[in-house]
Amino acid sequence: MNFFTKMFKKKLKEETPPMPSWETVVEMMYDKHLDAFSDEVVKVIYSKDRSMRYVVLKDEKEFFTYQLEAIYQYDEDEWKYICSHDNVLPAMWEPFRGIVGKSVFENIGELLNELKAESEYKQYF
């Protein structure tokens, strides 16, 4: 490895900001990425520790659905890559356990009753 390569790698390592603590990440992610949904977000319900959330959506036909999401914090290599971009967060919201299937409800009351019966809701919310 030549001198330039060593200095360049050393400089990159020095410029990578440290990964924020989990508590800071959770705080940073509050109400983020809600604009990623094509349907209207009508309600967001956060878990006790705010690391998970139910997003209640309404489509153009006035039907309601929900999605359970959890925070995924980037690992060190991902963080080193992504932190070089402007306005990035150290984590993202993703479907909990990869589950994206949704039930469809005619009203929000039915949806909330179904949601509250889920084991994840009982455990984390």
The predicted-structure confidence for 14-41, as pLDDT tens digits, reads as follows: 577 888 999 999 999 999 999 999 999 9
Per-residue model confidence (pLDDT) at position 77: 87
Task: Compare 38 and 7 and report the one with higher pLDDT.
Answer: 38
From 19, 41, 10, 8, select the one nearest 88 (Cα to Cα): 19
With a CB cutoff of 8 Å and minimum separation 6, the contacts of 97 are 70
The predicted-structure confidence for 62-87, as pLDDT tens digits, reads as follows: 999 999 999 999 998 888 888 877 78
The predicted-structure confidence for 83-104, as pLDDT tens digits, reads as follows: 877 788 999 999 998 887 778 9
Domain assignments of the chain as residue spans, ordered by start? 18-124
Per-residue model confidence (pLDDT) at position 72: 96
Q: pTM of the entire structure?
A: 0.81
> How many angstroms separate the Cα of 78 from the Cα of each of 2, 6, 47, 69, 112?
26, 21, 26, 20, 36
Q: Is the pLDDT of residue 47 over 80?
A: yes
How many Cα atoms within 13 Å fall on the side-chain side of residue 5? Answer: 2
CB 67 within 8 A of CB 54: yes
CA distance 39 to 31: 16
CB 66 within 8 A of CB 115: yes
